[in-house]
Structure 1
Amino acid sequence: MTTTAHDLLEKHYYQIESRYSILSSGKYTTLVTANGNSATPIHRWFRMKEAYSSEMLGQVLNDTGLDGLRTLRLVDPFSGSGTTGVSAGDLIRRGDLDESRVTAMEVNPFLHLVSRAKMSGHMVGPLRIQTVAGHIARRALTEQDGLTEIPSLTTFANPDYFPTENLRNLLALKASLTTILRETSDAATSDLLHLALASAIEPSSNLRRDGRALRLTAGKARTNPINIFLDAVETIAHDIDKPRIPFTASVSLQDSRRLPQPVQPSHDLALFSPPYPNNIDYTEVYKLEAWFLGLYSSSEDFSLQRRQTVRSHSSLRWGEQYGFRDGKNVKLIEALLAPVLDAIPDDRYRRGRQEVVLGYADDMLATLRFLHASLDVGGRMAIAVGNSMHGKAGNDYVIASDLLLAQLAEVAGFHVDKIDIARYPKRRTARSAYLRESLVFATKERQDA
């Protein structure tokens, strides 16, 4: 029987896996998705289906032995919708923690706003944003402040995508919100109202977020954006109508791969979910909100932002610059990736897909080195990640991100404690045992990597 590149890749993964403690505890089966978040205060403010459950942090603390801490210092290099940080505040409100300090980073400007706004929900205490929002809505209904310019993204100018009346209401809301916010310097109020406005954009269009794209949906039920805005504010006001807690969080618009060293080791836990190498460009997926809020002003801004993201998709040609090739572990990393590169079918997509494998490993290693420097000795790390299948049936291959990240974590100086397999997504065409979602657990055992 001929040994194929697919067979060699599966054998390669088996050999890597044999080095680690692999289990399927069942604890994370429902936690690796946003299960329950849509009904949970603060987490529900802007739904991202790519998020994990608000209950994830508590389970990770239990599994890492950090559940005895009363003060938690937490770092998240891919803040996304802010689930990790907001969950720390949840634990304080439940009495499971006395205090928490969260350091988070996000390179996508819209998701940075989402994270920042959500985490402020545990820090601001009650705000009279309903009164402000009602004032904004009344002015928008009469177009008292006029209309802002239509964003230069062509999607907004197409009535098939945005019905004319709904677009006018959105533009009037933005104009009135901008006018009213000139009278306040409160950053939290501004963030929360902008998040409420963002919540009204997709639902008032004929578009629907579907996996890696925005799709035109005939007959989609639409709602007046002013009503959606007011409903979102009502939800936010309800969720923040609580006393402040000893919770502090900073969410910086920064790239953890490119932060200057040295970093002060001052955290107990890193919990995060990086982009999976599954060909989803999140800059593209959340472009409506970012463009409408003015976070991009030109196609050049948008293109630059796409190129600042993790190399997890092949919709761009990334080039062949890899920092790991200048390091002492280059041979180890090349040996780790070679069977994956060899398994990529020899077609017109081959080079782009190879750039993703090499670029993703390079980006993750840079992030893991940053996290190693950020954690105290004895600090723990938990990575929620999904493996992805590529290529056509019969000529497909899996990128086993959990195993690749485990090996890269060792290169960065961590000891890998275990890999807990959360679930196996159902794919009838899958030929691999490694198509799964997992939690990779690791410990920083010494200061020097």
Structure 2
Amino acid sequence: MDPKQFEELKENLWDFMKTEIYPNELRHIKEVKDIRSNGPSHWKQPQIMFELREKAKARGLWNLFLPVDSAQLAGRKGGGLTNLQYADCCEIMGTANHAEFAAEACNCASPDTGNMEVLARFGTEEQKKQWLEPLLDAKIRSCYAMTEPAVASSDATNIRTMITRDGDHWVINGRKHWITGAGNIDCKIMILMGRTGPKDAATYRSQSQILVPMDTPGITLVRPMETFGDDDCPKGHMEILFEDVRVPLANMIWGEGRGFEIAQLRLGPGRIHHCMRMIGQAERALSHMCRRASSRQAFGQKLSEMGSVVQQIAECRAEIDQARLLVREAADRMDRLGNTDHYTRKLLSLVKAVVPSMTQRVVDRAMQIHGGVGGSQDSFLPAAFVGCRNLRWADGPDEVHWRTAGRLELSFQRKQSPLYQIELYDHDKSTPFRAKL
């Protein structure tokens, strides 16, 4: 999208936030609470979300996440945005009281966005017709099943759910947990990652991804997983048992053994989306922090006149801006070189390691400045804190991403950096020497 059109789109999105999202935050909270108290209908979508979706569609703020190439493959109109442009939109949407409230209103929330990209890029025409089209219209929801309770799923080679061939069907057996969105009654389709290859198969060719309708016999929603006592209604993070679940051979995505390739192509853009929404959350927390500090007085002076408070505000500003620049560089690099480029992969790991923890620090400082109300139902801060803390586990924990980024940096330094070859000085000879390590 050309720069002028993009500025108009951002103005449109900001206006949508100001006129529709912020004024309806409390209504959304109330409707979710009412749904939660209704027992069997616990997992249905609140009415406000249906209304907001119609308004987003009317404004042209629909499926903004879908890049031009994926939109063409889907036979639909997406946002027409680059990853860098959509990153800015994610930050704006992330300023809502919940990181994905506005994103969901614009059909840009996870895990649906990643699933739609997978189907657009790798799905057959029949798969697109049956599942992608209703997802693009928000007529159904979806989930993505990868994490397992019995193994360290941050290393995806550990995944043990089995997908075995039996005649003209695939048969699935295993257990998954933390499956976001699976609790929603509108969730009709799951993309599941499991093992199709034998134990001696090449490590990264032993996993596949497959479409599993949620009403398939043998699927049991065992329980919703709670984070900090919250079940995240109406999405839910479910534990799911698969017992002889049979699906047609045609449900395999992109062919047997392509699971890791799909996962990498899926997770790269998702990290940009998540992290820029987190920056939106951090910006809102900082604004609330400044407002509170400017309006409250203690010991004869405003909080905003206390040196320690002013320093915390400055630290928040610096950390948010540093994180934003890192994410924008990753998005720009992905636009130019793709997300399998060596340096892009390092940046994608860095943003996932840096941004959620940065947001957690900013939100924590804002909560402290607010005192008791900062941890109460009168503030968005507790939900923001839980959201960024959860994201430090989701899509791989911090430690995995630091490890990946560090290993890629070592490889770059050894093979490409001209500075790596500069030797230490031998002061006796006034000539360089190489240190013995």
Which category describes the TM-score, using the shorter chain as reference length? under 0.3
Larger helix proportion of the pair: 2
Provide TM-score, normalisation by structure 2: 0.27
